[in-house]
């Protein structure tokens, strides 16, 4: 049916790496990708919020995905980037290890995340099998929503 | 159907007119019955009647029609203004407001206007409609009589022949329209010196001159005849103008060879001829000419109506005190966007200034440097002006809020059986519209408090030797770059001891705490959440609605304002609300600490000091400094923000003394950078309120600086340190 052909339109995702793992986000929610900027730390902010940066006159929190994904230590290299994303309500800068490419993905490449791991991590939208590579597709709105963040944080503390 | 825009305009006009009627009824109640007051109400009611009829809101049309008729009676001195009448009028206003809510709201149609209509009819003796015409004629005749008697240039009829000028329907419409818009219609009889050469030139000059004051809607003889010089030294005309009678007359007299000018005010509905005595010979044919609807004069009259708009521009130049301001309605959001853009520009300006400095130090003085310096200066100037103008565009007079209060005060006072004189000052003071939106509720609360708790009832006041009538003052004024709004009453004041007792009873403070409290701190108890000064079981339906002083303070502080108050038991209380003129851009003191730049809003900065380390004293594990005999607690930013820095080990330290209300606090910083204008940015909803910070600002180099929330720092420091302070002394 015609409707289905339109659904199968390729999805464009930005592929980046955090903690030696490939991740992908829908390009529609990416505002821009920039080199690391001077970050102003915010007192008493959660550990994964490194501070705020200035994105063309707007003060935007910078989130370290390494910390958020509980990988802890982070090494800044020349490859480190900030992906400025816009969710339903907010703008964020995600600090990532490196940004690789923008890929076209056909929806049938997206496999549901195994229930065992997605149970408490609803931000996992699916897993993309790309040859040898595994790319974890992230639902940003879920990832950056306050409630989930708090849950993540609690889990972090429990761990 | 009407478009949303049309409905919005109608609503806005309605709101405005209702306010006018409300204000003027209050004046009536205060026995300030002047023709202007009556006229204002009449006009406003008339406008509402007209526009609501067009929109098809029948009940509103009917009600305003009755109000209008009532005022027509009053205007003609056939109805006296009594307390009963004022009450009926207020009831009518409430009904109108209810009708307005219906229109704006969900389209329900439940408001019953019958009871209030009956009351109006009863008050007006039910004869409002029947006698309209005669009443007007009597009034018009009266007006004519008095103006003739007082006019010094008025000559007996037999000496100067007068022309007749009959007002046809088209002209009358023009006059009525003009009246509603606040213009006057005058009839003029002008005679030119008999031996005048080239009368047509005089006539032309007369037209030219009088049109400075307004619009000539009719003449007799018709304009064509005048141009051709076919008239016998007398001209009659009707002019619509905002100027007063003498001005128009003097304009006419300013032309050479004008012998005599007779002028009188014409009112709509006045179908009587301008002049009762006829010029026997020429009148009939001239009258005939005027009555021809297709005659040039008739057309001129119709044209006059369409010209009324231009007229306002014309008269605006001549009479600045009554000028009509040309306005454009702009969506508030657009203004906000503009303001943000200007904010960006301010940041860029600062960046450019920095760049110029760097450029200069690299290249020394040469032509290029001069050029860029000039550009930078000019850009700075333009940005500053732009910023000012946009800021002004966002300003509204506090009258927007204040105008709601007289009625409210009256109602509350009535309900509580108190006699109160309510004085408002500084209505014209302007504030950012965002601020205006917020101050309404806190002010309502303060006013209510004053009436309910502050001002005693008349008997008690007399017993205390005070005038029976209590005084409540609301005043807005500029103080430096701030607005201060005060609510002042001459009531019983606030008793610190009673407050303490109450707080103990409510379990808000302990007995021990209360004993250590000074009067000042005890008074601050009113700002404790859950605190009310009303005696238990004595909560009237006016106060005790759950809005406490704590909410008032929070609301005011949310817009960077402060609330302070002084009270003298038995003599009254004065609350002062200090507000910034605008919210978006502030001046700040920039400091560096631990490699970071922080901004302190200048409002809260008292002074900066350069102290040696030995000036810092320890009291009970907390640091304090003594400045001119006063002890101030000292804090370090790294402690407040849990930072690890605070590197400065020199012998000198910089301290910024900040303060809000009576409390002061010293903050240690590494370096003072200087004053700067900053644009306040929120930290975003994701981070939300961060303790100790009130936002962020973007600096010239693109970095983000944090704005220190001095108020909360001072408050949290103040409560801890107060005891240390007391112990130290």
Query: Which pLDDT belongs to residue B435?
Result: 82
Q: Are B703 and B697 in contact (CB under 8 A)?
A: no
- Residues with Cβ within 8 Å of B42's Cβ and at least 6 positions away in sequence, in order, are B68, B71, B72, B75
Q: Choose the mutation target among B704, B705, B716 for the interface with A, i.e. most A CBs under 10 Å.
A: B704
Find which of A63-77, A130-144, B590-604 is predicted with most confidence, using mean pLDDT: B590-604
Task: Give start and end residues of each alpha helix (H) in B228-328.
Answer: 245-253, 283-291, 296-318
Inform me whether the C-beta atom of residue B686 falls under 8 Å from chain A C-beta atoms: yes
Q: Are B19 and B403 in contact (CB under 8 A)?
A: yes
Q: Out of B684, B695, B702, whose CB is closest to A61?
A: B684
Could you tell me how many CB contacts below 8 A there are between chain A and chain B?
72
Name which of A17-31, B284-298, B424-438 the model is least confident about. Answer: B284-298
Query: Which pLDDT belongs to residue B279?
Result: 41
Inform me whether the C-beta atom of residue A58 falls under 8 Å from chain B C-beta atoms: yes
Q: Choose the mutation target among A44, A89, A145 for the interface with B, i.e. most B CBs under 10 Å.
A: A44
Q: Are B599 and B590 in contact (CB under 8 A)?
A: yes
Distance CA B230, CA B221 (A): 8
The better pLDDT of the pair B353, B645 is held by B353
Distance CA A64, CA B533 (A): 50
Query: Which pLDDT belongs to residue A149?
Result: 54
Q: Given pLDDT bands bounded at 50, 70 and 90, which one contains residue B277? A: very low
Name which of A59-68, B202-211, B314-323, B444-453 the model is least confident about. Answer: B314-323
Q: Are B545 and B538 in contact (CB under 8 A)?
A: no
Inform me whether the C-beta atom of residue A33 falls under 8 Å from chain B C-beta atoms: no
The better pLDDT of the pair B98, A149 is held by B98
Q: Given pLDDT bands bounded at 50, 70 and 90, which one contains residue B322? A: very low
Name which of A78-87, B80-89, B172-181, B316-325 the model is least confident about. Answer: B316-325
Region A95-113 average pLDDT: 85
pLDDT for residue B68 is more than 80: yes
Q: Which helix (H) or strand (E) holds B580?
A: strand B572-580
Q: Which residues in chain A touch residue B682, judged by CB atoms under 8 angstroms apart?
A: 59
Query: Does the annotation count B362 as an active-site position?
Result: no
Nearest CA in chain B to A55: B702
Nearest-CA distance from A118 to chain B in Å? 24
User: For a pLDDT cut of 90, what percent of chain B falls above it?
Assistant: 3
Inform me whether the C-beta atom of residue B606 falls under 8 Å from chain A C-beta atoms: no
Write the DSSP assignment of B356-371 as a string of letters.
HHHHHHHH-S-HHHHH
Q: Are B561 and B431 in contact (CB under 8 A)?
A: no
Region B524-551 average pLDDT: 57
Exposure of B214 by Cβ count < 10 A (0-12 exposed, 13-18 middle, 19+ buried)?
A: buried
3-state helix, strand, coil in chain A (%, to 5): 25, 45, 30
Inform me whether the C-beta atom of residue A61 falls under 8 Å from chain B C-beta atoms: yes
pLDDT tens, B180-195? 777 788 888 888 877 7
Integer distance in angstroms from the first to the last C-alpha of chain A?
49
Query: Which pLDDT belongs to residue A16?
Result: 92
Find which of B96-105, B443-452, B493-502, B628-637 is predicted with most confidence, using mean pLDDT: B443-452
Distance CA B84, CA B70 (A): 13
Distance CA A62, CA A92 (A): 6
pLDDT for residue A5 is more than 60: no
Query: Which pLDDT belongs to residue B98?
Result: 83
pLDDT for residue B140 is more than 90: no
Q: Are B580 and B632 in contact (CB under 8 A)?
A: no
Nearest-CA distance from A53 to chain B in Å? 6
Q: Which residues in chain B touch residue A40, judged by CB atoms under 8 angstroms apart?
A: 596, 696, 703-706
Beta strands across the sheet bearing B585-593:
B671-679, B585-593, B596-601, B704-708, B693-698
pLDDT tens, B605-658? 888 888 887 788 877 777 888 888 778 888 887 777 766 655 556 677 889 988
Among candidate residues B270, B277, B164, B268, the one with its CA nearest the CA of residue B221: B164
Residue B630: alpha-carbon gap to chain centroid: 42
Averaged confidence pLDDT in chain A? 78
Q: Which helix (H) or strand (E) holds B562?
A: strand B562-568
- Residues with Cβ within 8 Å of B455's Cβ and at least 6 positions away in sequence, in order, are B418, B420, B461, B470, B472, B489, B490, B491, B492
pLDDT for residue B134 is more than 80: no
Contact A43 B340 (CB under 8 A): no
Query: Which pLDDT belongs to residue B61?
Result: 86
Pair of tokens at residue B9? 């305009």
Contact A57 B347 (CB under 8 A): yes
* Residue B131 Cα distances to B57, B70, B72, B73, B505, angstroms: 26, 11, 10, 9, 67
Query: Which pLDDT belongs to residue A150?
Result: 55
Task: Give start and end residues of each alpha helix (H) in B417-456.
Answer: 433-449
Nearest-CA distance from A139 to chain B in Å? 17
Catalytic residue among B68, B225, B430, B677: B68
Query: Which pLDDT belongs to residue A146?
Result: 55
Q: Given pLDDT bands bounded at 50, 70 and 90, which one contains residue B475? A: very high
Nearest-CA distance from B625 to chain A in Å? 26
The better pLDDT of the pair B613, A24 is held by A24
* Residue A82 Cα distances to A22, A49, A55, A78, A103, angstroms: 15, 13, 11, 12, 18
The per-residue b/e assignment along B304-329, b for 16 or more CB within 10 angstroms, e otherwise, is bbebbeebbebbeebeeeeeeeeeee
Q: Which residues in chain B touch residue A90, judged by CB atoms under 8 angstroms apart?
A: 684-686
- Residues with Cβ within 8 Å of B375's Cβ and at least 6 positions away in sequence, in order, are none
The better pLDDT of the pair B499, B655 is held by B655
* Residue B619 Cα distances to B400, B637, B716, B727, angstroms: 50, 19, 17, 8
Query: Which pLDDT belongs to residue B84?
Result: 81
Task: Give start and end residues of each alpha helix (H) in B464-560.
Answer: 496-505, 511-516, 519-523, 549-558
Nearest CA in chain A to B638: A43
Averaged confidence pLDDT in chain B? 74
Q: Read off the pTM.
A: 0.49
Query: Which pLDDT belongs to residue B436?
Result: 84
Residue B195 per-residue DSSP state: T
Inform me whether the C-beta atom of residue B351 falls under 8 Å from chain A C-beta atoms: no
Catalytic residue among B24, B46, B430, B453: B46
Bridge partners of B265? B186
Q: Are B592 and B514 in contact (CB under 8 A)?
A: no
Region B559-574 average pLDDT: 84
Integer distance in angstroms from the first to the last C-alpha of chain B?
76
Region B649-668 average pLDDT: 79
Among candidate residues B587, B591, B615, B585, the one with its CA nearest the CA of residue B603: B587
Inform me whether the C-beta atom of residue B320 falls under 8 Å from chain A C-beta atoms: no
Contact B692 A43 (CB under 8 A): yes
Distance CA B666, CA B623 (A): 10
Residue B652: alpha-carbon gap to chain centroid: 50
pLDDT for residue B332 is more than 80: no
Q: Are B20 and B64 in contact (CB under 8 A)?
A: no
pLDDT for residue B45 is more than 60: yes
Contact B683 A54 (CB under 8 A): no
The better pLDDT of the pair B440, B363 is held by B440
The better pLDDT of the pair B313, B66 is held by B66
Q: Are B155 and B124 in contact (CB under 8 A)?
A: no
pLDDT for residue A1 is more than 80: no
pLDDT for residue A136 is more than 80: yes
Q: Which residues in chain A touch residue B696, judged by CB atoms under 8 angstroms apart?
A: 40, 52, 59
B249 phi, psi to nearest 5 deg: -65, -45
pLDDT for residue B557 is more than 70: yes
pLDDT for residue B662 is more than 70: no
How long is chain B?
A: 729
Distance CA B200, CA B205 (A): 9
Q: Given pLDDT bands bounded at 50, 70 and 90, which one contains residue B486? A: very high
Region B67-88 average pLDDT: 81
Query: Does the annotation count B68 as an active-site position?
Result: yes
Region B109-122 average pLDDT: 80
Name which of A121-125, B72-76, B129-133, B656-660 the model is least confident about. Answer: B129-133
Q: Out of B344, B692, B706, whose CB is closest to A40?
A: B706
Q: Are B260 and B188 in contact (CB under 8 A)?
A: no
Pair of tokens at residue A132? 């040898």
Inform me whether the C-beta atom of residue A48 falls under 8 Å from chain B C-beta atoms: no
Q: Choose the mutation target among B686, B689, B693, B698 for the interface with A, i.e. most A CBs under 10 Å.
A: B686
Contact A44 B642 (CB under 8 A): yes
């Amino acid at each position: 049916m015609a409707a289905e052909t339109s659904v199968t339109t390729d999805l464009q995702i930005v592929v980046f790496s955090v903690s030696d793992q490939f991740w992908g986000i829908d390009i529609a929610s990416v505002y821009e990708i920039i080199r690391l900027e001077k970050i102003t730390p915010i007192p008493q902010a959660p550990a994964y919020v490194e501070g705020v940066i200035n994105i063309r006159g707007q003060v935007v929190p910078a989130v370290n995905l390494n910390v958020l994904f509980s990988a802890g230590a982070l090494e800044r290299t020349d490859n480190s980037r900030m992906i400025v994303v816009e969710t339903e309500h907010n703008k964020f800068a995600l600090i990532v290890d490196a940004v690789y490419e923008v890929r076209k993905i056909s929806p049938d490449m997206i496999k549901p995340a195994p229930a065992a791991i997605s149970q408490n991590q609803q931000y996992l939208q699916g897993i993309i099998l790309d040859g040898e590579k595994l790319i974890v597709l992230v639902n940003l709105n879920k990832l950056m929503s306050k409630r989930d963040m708090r849950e993540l944080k609690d889990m972090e503390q429990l761990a | 159907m009407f478009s949303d825009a049309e409905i919005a305009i109608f609503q806005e006009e309605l709101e405005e007119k209702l306010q006018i009627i409300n204000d003027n009824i209050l004046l009536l109640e205060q026995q300030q019955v002047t023709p202007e007051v009556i006229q204002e109400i009449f006009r406003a009611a008339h406008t509402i009647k007209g526009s609501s009829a067009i929109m098809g809101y029948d009940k509103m049309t009917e009600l305003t029609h009755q109000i209008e008729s009532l005022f027509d009676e009053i205007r003609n001195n056939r109805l006296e203004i009594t307390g009963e009448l004022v009450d009926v009028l207020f009831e009518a206003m409430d009904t109108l407001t209810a009708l307005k809510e219906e229109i704006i709201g969900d389209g329900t149609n439940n408001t019953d206007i019958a009871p209030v209509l009956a009351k109006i009819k009863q008050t007006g003796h039910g004869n409002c409609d029947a006698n309209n015409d005669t009443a007007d004629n009597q009034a018009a005749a009266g007006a004519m009589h008095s103006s003739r008697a007082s006019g010094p240039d008025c000559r007996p009829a037999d000496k100067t022949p007068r022309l007749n000028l009959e007002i046809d329907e088209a002209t009358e419409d023009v006059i009525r329209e003009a009246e509603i818009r606040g213009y006057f219609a005058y009839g003029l009889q002008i005679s030119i010196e008999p031996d005048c050469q080239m009368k047509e030139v005089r006539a032309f000059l007369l037209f030219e001159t009088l049109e400075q004051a307004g619009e000539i809607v009719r003449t007799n003889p018709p304009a064509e005849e005048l141009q051709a010089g076919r008239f016998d030294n007398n001209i009659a005309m009707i002019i619509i103008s905002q100027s007063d009678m003498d001005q128009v007359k003097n304009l006419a007299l300013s032309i050479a060879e004008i012998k005599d000018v007779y002028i009188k005010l014409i009112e709509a509905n006045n179908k009587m001829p301008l002049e009762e005595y006829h010029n026997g010979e020429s009148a009939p044919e001239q009258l005939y000419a005027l009555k021809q609807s297709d005659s040039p004069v008739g057309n001129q009259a119709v044209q006059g109506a369409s010209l009324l708009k231009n007229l306002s521009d014309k008269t605006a130049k001549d009479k600045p005190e009554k000028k009509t301001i040309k306005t454009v309605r702009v969506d508030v959001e657009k203004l906000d966007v503009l303001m943000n853009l200007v904010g960006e520009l301010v940041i860029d300006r600062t960046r450019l200034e920095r760049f110029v400095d760097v450029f200069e130090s690299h290249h020394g003085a040469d032509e290029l440097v001069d050029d860029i310096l000039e550009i930078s200066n000019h850009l700075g100037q333009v940005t500053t002006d732009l910023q000012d103008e946009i800021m002004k565009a966002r300003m509204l007079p506090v009258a927007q809020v204040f105008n709601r209060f007289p009625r409210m005060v009256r109602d509350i006072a009535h309900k509580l059986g108190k006699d109160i004189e309510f004085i408002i000052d500084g209505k014209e003071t302007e504030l950012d519209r965002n601020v205006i939106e917020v101050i309404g509720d806190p002010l309502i609360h303060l006013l209510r408090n004053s009436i309910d708790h502050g001002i005693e009832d008349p008997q008690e006041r007399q017993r205390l030797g005070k005038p029976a009538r209590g005084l409540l003052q609301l005043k807005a004024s500029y103080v430096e770059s701030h607005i201060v709004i005060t609510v002042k009453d001459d009531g019983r004041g606030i008793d610190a001891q009673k407050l303490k007792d109450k707080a103990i009873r409510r379990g808000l403070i302990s007995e021990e705490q209360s004993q250590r409290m000074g009067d000042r701190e005890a008074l601050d108890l009113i700002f404790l959440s859950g605190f009310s000064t009303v005696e238990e079981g004595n909560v009237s339906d006016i106060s005790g609605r759950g809005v406490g002083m704590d909410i008032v303070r929070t609301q005011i502080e949310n817009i960077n304002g402060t609330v302070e108050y002084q009270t003298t038991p038995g003599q009254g209380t004065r609350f002062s609300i200090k507000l910034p003129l605008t919210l978006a851009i502030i001046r700040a003191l920039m400091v560096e600490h631990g490699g970071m730049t922080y901004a302190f809003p200048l409002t809260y900065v008292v002074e900066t000091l350069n102290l040696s380390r030995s000036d810092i004293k320890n009291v009970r594990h907390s640091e304090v400094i003594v400045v001119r005999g006063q002890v101030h607690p000292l804090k370090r930013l790294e402690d407040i923000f849990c930072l690890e820095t605070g590197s400065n080990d020199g012998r000198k330290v910089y301290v910024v003394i900040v303060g809000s209300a009576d409390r002061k606090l010293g903050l240690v910083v590494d370096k003072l950078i200087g004053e700067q204008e900053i644009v306040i940015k929120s930290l975003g909803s994701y981070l939300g309120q961060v303790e100790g910070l009130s936002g962020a600002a973007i600096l010239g180099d693109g970095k983000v600086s944090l704005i220190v929330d001095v108020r909360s720092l001072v408050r949290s420091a103040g409560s801890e340190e107060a005891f240390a302070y007391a112990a130290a002394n």
